[in-house]
Structures are given as structure tokens and as C-alpha cells.
């Protein structure tokens, strides 16, 4: 291994929240407080911590407010944010009055949304993915906003194409993807109506060592389960690189919104990475089905032109995932569903 992997969640969170010089420079160019809306999910806590660390360097040690707003179902997660210098506010973003009472901030990272459970409760997914953005975009119409979206809004593309580009026609499959396109349209509306400066960040797939496509595959191998091949190719990006990208895109916010695919530079074969993980885990691997001719893929050329390539090499990421999963370290137990081709989550 070129770098030793984290051996605890504390070490992992430290790694995921480590800004680079470009992150510091981006916040130096976007002064003022930062609020992270929907900060209680998988990525929000480490992104908020990264914002604190980058802002302290950008501001010469002076403290600007970094605020995390969420329902915060985990008191431990909220306490960990406090310990890192992040202010927290418990807020249901569907409550217009509660959102109206949130503090002003010139910089907004919007991360709220719902994916899993869509099939069983589609109306709630639409409320979370369309109505909540409307409430928040209206409240922060004068702020610059980086709003998380998803590559699921694209049609499936052949791996030889390099993935969907930001200018490609959109063809969401299933209610989750359709509602995410609805979220984008809401932000576009407020940008046109109010001049809000916005980046729409289409992410797929972020990788922590506790969740993500590679973790899903490694966990299947450890359990002796077959790895599905129907979605035979994927893009992945280490969560630290995705966190950095979100903060570094703040100076690029514009009206109309800038749309940027945020993902890794490589088109990765599921079969190939499963074999590599099995080798590292010293386990056999079995497969289920065959690769379809297309997959959910995104071209990250624009991101790389604006921000540079992701810094985490795929080989190191495979090493780290194998060490983490093989060592029995904690997992979130939230499979990505990357193998689903019908958009049903």
C-alpha cells in the first residue's frame, strides 16, 4: 500500500475533512459565513468540518461561522460537529417558518434530499427533493449556492462514450431521478427569477470506507454473495475529493446555474474491481448476470478543467476499502443500489 489506511472512524473522518490549498483559496475568495443545509447525511458532517478547517486557514485563524442545519437524528454526530467548531441548528427543512429563522449566510451548500424509500413513499421523495429546495432557494435567494444533484438524471450510456456530459439531454429513469431533475429545475427557476448564483453538482458515486459502491462489492465478497454485473461500469470519487469539490465550486456559482459532474476520472468495470478487491481480501468472488451495453456514467472533464483531477488514486482506494471491510470495521449498512437499472430505490 502506498499510504496506510485509516484504522478508526476518528482517523477516517480526519482524512475526509482535510482541505487542500485550493479549498483554502476558494474560501478566501468567498468570504462570509457558510451554512450546510441537510448536513446530517453521509457526507455533510465531514464537509462541514472541512469548511471549518479551510476557513480558518483562509481567514488567518479568524473564525467565520460554519453552520450545519439538519434534523440531526444522531446526538453523537451533532456533538462531534460541535467539537470540530461547527455550529448546529436542528431544523426540519420542510418547515417554512423554521427555514425562515435560519441565519443569513452568503455561502450555502445544499445537501438535502431523499433517495431510498422512494418506491414505497414516492410523495415524500418529491416533497424532499422538490418542495424543500423551493423553500431553501427562496430563503437564500441572495446567497451563492452549491446544490447537490445526481448523475441519475442522465440516460444510461455505453462505457466507450466516457459518460454523459453536462450538455447531454436528460432522461431520468424512475421517480427518484425524476424528482432530482425537479430539484434542479427549482434552483434554475430561482436563479432566473432572483439572480441567485448557483452550481448544480451532479455527483456519482461518493466513496467513504463505510459505504459506497466499492464497499458494497467488498461486503458481498466477504459474505460469499455473488456480485451483480447488470450495471457493469461505474464512476466513483473518494468522499474527501467530493467534499473539496463542493467547497471549491463556490466561487464558480453563476446565474444561470453552472452544472458540473463531480466524479472520478475513470470508467471502472465492476467485474475488474471485484476481482481486485477479492484478491486483496484473499477471498473467492462469484458473479451474477452479465454486463449490459450501457451504464450510469458521467464525464468529469469539466470538473477536472475547473478544479483539477481527484487526488485519491483508485489503487489506494481499493487498498483502503479492502483493509477497512476485511478488518471488520464499522459500516453504515446503507447499500447504494448501484446495480439497479430501473431507477427503483
pLDDT in tens, 224-239: 999 999 999 999 999 9
- Percentages helix, strand, coil for the chain (3-state, rounded to 5) are 40, 15, 40
Rounded to whole angstroms, the Cα distance separating 294 from 285 reads: 23
User: Is the previous residue joined to 256 through a cis bond, with omega within 30 degrees of 0?
Assistant: yes
Q: Are 230 and 295 in contact (CB under 8 A)?
A: no
Rounded to whole angstroms, the Cα distance separating 193 from 199 reads: 16
pLDDT in tens, 251-284: 999 999 999 999 999 999 999 999 999 999 999 9
Dihedral sign of CA atoms 160, 166, 169, 174 in order = positive
With cut-offs at 50, 70 and 90, classify the pLDDT of residue 117: low
What percentage of the chain carries pLDDT values higher than 70?
98
* pLDDT above 60 for 290: yes
pLDDT of 144 reads 98
The count of C-alpha atoms lying within 13 angstroms of the C-alpha of 81, restricted to the half-sphere facing its C-beta, is 28
* pLDDT above 90 for 161: yes
pLDDT in tens, 28-52: 999 999 999 999 989 999 999 999 9
pLDDT in tens, 169-185: 999 999 999 999 999 99
SS3 197: strand
Give the DSSP letter of residue 73: -
- Domains observed in the chain: 9-206+238-264+296-310 (3.40.50.720)
Taking alpha carbons only, the member of 207, 210, 206, 208 closest to residue 330 is 210
With cut-offs at 50, 70 and 90, classify the pLDDT of residue 145: very high
pLDDT of 63 reads 83
pLDDT of 118 reads 59
pLDDT of 116 reads 67
> What's the average model confidence in pLDDT over 321-333?
96
Encode burial over 225-237: b for 16+ CB neighbours within 10 A, e otherwise.
eebbbebbbbbbb
Average pLDDT, the chain: 95
pLDDT of 344 reads 76
pLDDT of 76 reads 81
* pLDDT above 80 for 338: yes
> What's the average model confidence in pLDDT over 103-124?
87
> What's the average model confidence in pLDDT over 325-335?
94
pLDDT in tens, 180-227: 999 999 999 999 999 999 999 999 999 999 999 999 999 999 999 999
* pLDDT above 90 for 142: yes
> What's the average model confidence in pLDDT over 61-72?
91
Question: Of 80 and 69, which is predicted with more confidence?
Answer: 69
pLDDT of 1 reads 47
Amino acid at each position: 500500500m502506498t499510504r496506510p489506511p485509516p484504522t478508526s472512524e476518528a482517523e477516517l473522518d480526519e482524512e475526509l475533512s482535510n482541505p487542500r490549498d485550493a479549498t483554502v483559496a476558494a474560501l478566501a475568495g468567498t468570504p462570509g459565513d457558510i451554512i450546510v443545509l441537510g448536513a446530517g447525511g453521509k457526507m455533510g458532517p465531514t464537509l462541514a468540518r472541512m469548511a471549518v478547517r479551510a476557513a480558518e486557514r483562509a481567514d488567518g485563524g479568524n473564525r467565520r461561522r460554519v453552520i450545519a442545519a439538519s434534523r440531526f437524528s444522531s446526538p453523537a454526530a451533532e456533538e462531534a460537529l460541535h467539537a470540530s467548531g461547527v455550529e448546529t441548528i436542528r431544523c426540519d427543512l420542510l418547515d417554512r417558518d423554521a427555514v425562515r429563522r435560519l441565519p443569513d449566510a452568503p455561502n450555502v451548500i445544499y445537501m438535502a434530499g431523499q433517495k431510498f424509500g422512494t418506491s414505497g413513499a414516492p410523495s415524500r421523495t418529491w416533497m424532499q427533493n422538490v418542495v424543500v429546495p423551493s423553500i431553501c432557494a427562496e430563503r437564500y435567494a441572495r446567497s451563492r449556492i452549491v446544490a447537490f444533484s445526481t448523475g441519475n438524471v442522465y440516460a444510461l450510456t455505453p462505457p466507450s462514450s466516457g459518460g454523459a456530459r453536462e450538455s447531454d439531454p436528460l432522461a431520468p429513469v424512475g421517480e427518484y431521478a425524476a424528482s432530482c431533475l425537479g430539484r434542479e429545475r427549482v434552483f434554475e427557476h430561482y436563479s432566473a427569477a432572483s439572480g441567485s448564483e448557483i452550481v448544480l453538482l451532479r455527483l456519482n458515486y461518493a466513496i467513504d470506507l463505510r459505504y459506497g459502491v466499492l464497499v458494497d462489492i467488498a461486503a458481498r465478497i466477504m459474505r460469499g454473495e455473488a456480485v451483480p454485473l447488470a450495471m457493469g461500469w461505474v464512476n466513483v470519487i473518494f468522499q474527501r475529493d467530493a467534499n473539496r469539490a463542493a467547497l471549491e465550486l463556490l466561487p464558480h456559482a453563476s446565474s444561470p446555474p453552472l452544472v458540473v459532474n463531480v466524479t472520478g476520472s475513470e470508467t471502472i468495470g465492476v467485474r475488474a474491481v471485484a476481482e481486485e478487491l477479492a484478491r486483496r481480501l484473499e477471498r473467492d468472488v462469484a458473479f451474477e448476470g452479465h454486463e449490459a451495453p450501457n451504464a450510469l456514467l458521467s464525464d468529469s472533464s469539466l470538473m477536472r478543467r475547473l478544479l483539477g483531477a481527484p487526488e485519491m488514486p483508485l489503487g489506494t482506494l481499493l487498498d483502503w476499502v479492502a483493509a477497512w471491510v476485511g478488518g471488520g470495521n464499522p459500516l453504515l449498512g446503507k447499500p447504494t443500489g448501484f446495480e439497479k437499472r430501473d431507477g427503483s430505490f
